[in-house]
Structure 1
Amino acid sequence: MSEAVTRTLTPPPGLLGSLDPLLREWLPRQRWFAGKGRPVTGFSLVAATELLPPGGKLGLYHLLVRAHQPLAPVPGAPEQPADCYQLLIGEREALPPRLAPALIGHVAEGPLAGRTVYDALHDPRPTELLLEALRTGARIGGLRFERDGSQRIRSGLVPRLVTSEQSNSSVVYGDTFILKLLRRIVPGVNPDLELPLALAREGCERVPAPTAWIRAELAGESYVLGVLQPFVQGAADGWELALRELAKGEDFAAAARALGRATAEVHTALARTLPTVTLGHTQVQQLVDGMVERLDVAAQAVPALQPYAPGLRSAFEALAGLAAEGSTWTAQRIHGDLHLGQCLRSPAGRWWLIDFEGEPSKPLAERRMPQPPVRDVAGMLRSFDYAAHSADPPIPGWAESCRAAYCSGYAQVSGADPRTDPVLLRAYETDKAIYEVVYEARHRPDWLPVPLSAIRRLAADGGTPTPSIPAPTPASPPSPRRPRP
């Protein structure tokens, strides 16, 4: 195995051309493909690395390819900048039945003519090869397999692909590690590796410390391709847990309060280890301008929003007004896409935060910008609302109870309850709900009533008085021990 991962091989000429017609059909069907609804007009090769030599029963290629698409699904529409995707392509003479779900297609011409190609992450041997490359610190062409030398990676761990819907792909190794492979690739420092490494250095126990990672060095630019972290055994994600408790009619407030404390621990650790900035009038106005622009675009795309637009705009104008009067806010690095599905709870009841990539649709530079921590809080409050609407029959007051408990738990650690800044919290909740309306209208129309119910509340919240909230008691900082699987 180690010989295979340390060889540098040259892919055959014409490889991408032989795959092109198959990838045009297969790629748009993948959950992680960002350009749904627009045809793929072609591909260009960013990098290709042959991971197994040709001529055997199994060939293996690591590809970074750009998918070219028009801006709109109409003939003659201009093309937008092409997204780059990471593919691990296996090729065999024929697929065994166990790999049927991984089929990409049968190659008709070119260097792979007569062979069958498939998504190799479904196949144990290629995924074992990736772990061995990480364990040995291999370098293969432009690929760099790097690791934290203080953590041990055992060989022989049995891999299994996580088959639940994700915006990337994950492989679990023997309930010990999980490898997240990023599918949509951009050059630069990826927060999905940057922030967990920073939190590990700070001793924050709420995020599994990266064990190893995969990078590519291409044309003077660095790309993060994957991150290996300890696997939290027996953990349930927060969304599944909340739905389970809802189905039993159980209260979730205690879990929400603990999750609030965990979120604040992560925020305070990030503020200690990475720079913070102060947002004054100019910076806040820029934030507000972006929120108003997103509202205007959303109202054009989803007519159901239009009656509420004036009330929603008032949420943003109120924030700009406070900034104009001299109010300032602290911004720092945050999670960036926090919701119940980005949290894990161990069987012992401990919460972990995962997936620090941020919203993949946004530019990397924007995802790495310091932002008010309340942006993460607003995302979690919206997630409680979504969970509550999934209950049948609904449980009155469930979301409100969770929201209050989460904010109280957050205040116990941070010393500041997010509800004591209602203008800032309302602005970020409104911005998130507008995003949700557009998403649901495009992808899940049956879910549209969920964010629209929040839109009605937020549009009318301008005159709501601030609730009386007891002063929080800050908790002690977390102990500087690393998380364990």
Structure 2
Amino acid sequence: MVVAGDEVRRARPSDGAALALVEALSRPGVVDGFTVTGWHHRPVDTERAIDVDQSNESVVVSGPDGGAVVKWVVRSGDGHDPAPDRVSRLVDAGFDAMPRPWGLVQWQGEARAELVAMVTELVPGARDGWEWAVEDARAYPAGSAGLEQSATEPARALGEIVARMHLGLADDVPPRADAARAAMWRDDALAGLAEARALIDGAEGERLERHADSVRATLASLGGAAGTPLVPVHGDLHVGQVLRGDDGAYRVTDFDGNPVVPGPERTALQPAATDVAGMVQSLDHVAYVVLHRTPGVDAAAVERWRQEATTIFLAAYRRTLAAAGRSALLDESLLEPLRLRQVCREYVYAGRHLPHWRYVPDRALRARYEVETDR
């Protein structure tokens, strides 16, 4: 905040609050109930707002040697923010495929710790996967990029990164899900299907109704997931959470979990397949976005891109786990039901917030259950 005479107001970018926070990272410790964790520090001297709608407020701070993004948590949470633990684990593991964390500040209340702010390095020219992956998928059928450049190499990099992330997050001997946890996943997935059916009408709703029994049967198999290894997963992993910068490197971001699920679920351990299914399904969705938004596009070429990207991603992920001797972290039997759970969540998101997005889960459903000529 800013205090000027009798006036007390919330600080704005250019007031210097973000600069002061970054400076505080060079002196980690506990101050008046606030815990300051510092991993990296550079001098910064200017700050500016990021002018987009956000659930939090982000400010860019810059200096002669680069800059960072200060993300202020502006709404009091429920104490279930997984980002501090996830990022700390990855820093300790030496995981470098994320914007370099500079530090964070937490307030320790009587019952729980609340994240106040997190600072991560600014990635020059960064764009998320809903931009770069869509461009890649569009470039291949247009003939401006080959399959290796547009699908194989990015998917291989993503598969290796997600596997290394899980290796950094997982315990040496991971706990395993019990029957009650598996039943909870099943019930949550079936509730998502029920809500999707209630929200989606029109031709998309009719199609969902036609295949609802098949979807339900696949989702119900989550009830048999007792014994699967549990990991502190990313929790909201899709191509939009992967930045590609001017240097061509890929970096995973936003470790604060799925914002639409209850707080306790955001911090709960999950199967590694949760993240893997989310990423694979989002690669499918990239293809559907290109088909929907690119008049006259070669649909067969887009389908080749989709198949190559998803196949190579999974192969690279499995290969990286195997090289570390930890193939058991991925429960293959969960991939299909968790992918369908994500499809149902996309329906719900469209029904609640973005009606035109319904074409994406609708295409995903058609790809699974209807003949090729109907796609």
> Could you state the TM-score of these two structures normalised by the residue count of structure 1?
0.64
**SS of the residue 1:454 aligns to:** helix
| Structure 2 residue aligned with 1:297 | 195
Does the alignment pair 1:398 with 2:349? no
2:337 alignment counterpart: 427
C-alpha distance in 2, partners of 1:140/1:269? 30
Deviation at 1:411, TM superposition (A): 1.2
Which residue in the other structure is 1:333 paired with? 232
Asked whether the 8 Å contact 1:410–1:417 carries over to 2, the reply is no
Matched residue type, 1:368: T
Q: 1:130 offset after TM fit, Å?
A: 4.0
Aligned-residue identity in percent: 26
Q: Which residue is equivalent to 1:278?
A: 176
Which residue in the other structure is 2:3 paired with?
Answer: 52
Which residue identity is paired with 1:152?
H
Unaligned stretches of 5+ residues in structure 1: 1-49, 62-88, 91-119, 462-485
Separation in structure 1 between the aligned mates of residue 17 and residue 99 of structure 2, nearest angstrom? 25
In structure 1, C-alpha distance between the alignment counterparts of 2:30 and 2:177, rounded to whole Å: 43
1:388 aligns with 2:277: no
Inter-partner Cα distance in structure 1 for 2:263 and 2:220: 27
Q: Which residue of 1 aligns with 2:37?
A: 147
Describe the SS at the equivalent of 1:448.
helix
CA spacing shift, 1:348–1:189, aligned 2, 3 Å: same
**Which amino acid letter does the alignment assign opposite residue 254 of structure 2?**
D
Q: State how many pairs are aligned.
A: 343
Greater shift after overlay, 394-403 or 215-224?
A: 215-224
1:210 matched to 2:106? The reply is: no
Give CA-to-partner distance per residue, 1:5-54, whole Å, 9 cap, x none.
xxxxxxxxxxxxxxxxxxxxxxxxxxxxxxxxxxxxxxxxxxxxx43233
Kindly provide the amino acid, as one letter, of the partner of residue 319 in structure 2: Q
Is 2:44–2:67's contact at 8 Å kept on the other side of the alignment? no
TM norm structure 2: 0.81
Alignment of 1:49-448 (within 5 A): 50-55=1-6, 61=9, 89-90=10-11, 120-121=12-13, 123=14, 125-135=16-26, 144=34, 146-148=36-38, 151-156=40-45, 158-174=46-62, 175-188=66-79, 190-218=81-109, 221-249=112-140, 250=145, 251-272=150-171, 276-303=174-201, 304=205, 305-320=208-223, 323=225, 328-391=227-290, 392=294, 393=297, 394=299, 395-415=302-322, 423-448=333-358
- Counterpart contact for 1:179–1:227, Cα < 8 Å: yes
- Provide the C-alpha distance between the structure 1 equivalents of 2:16 and 2:168, rounded to a whole number of angstroms: 39
Equivalent residues of 2:155, 2:312 under 8 A apart: yes
Cα RMSD of the aligned pairs, angstroms, is: 3.0
Q: Which residue of 2 aligns with 1:483?
A: none
- Bigger Rg over Cα: 1
Deviation at 1:352, TM superposition (A): 1.7
Aligned letter for 1:128? L
Specify which structure has the higher proportion of helix.
Answer: 2
Contact 2:351–2:358 (8 Å) recurs in 1: yes
Q: Does the C-alpha gap of structure 1 residues 411 and 229 become closer, same or farther in structure 2, counting only changes over 3 Å? A: same
CA distance in 2, matches of 1:453, 1:339: 17
- Counterpart CA distance in 2 for 1:177 and 1:190 is 21
Cα shift at 1:141? 7.2
CA separation of 1:259/1:403 partners in 2, compared to 1, >3 Å: closer, same or farther? Answer: same
Q: Which sections of structure 2, spanning at least 5 residues, go unmatched?
A: none
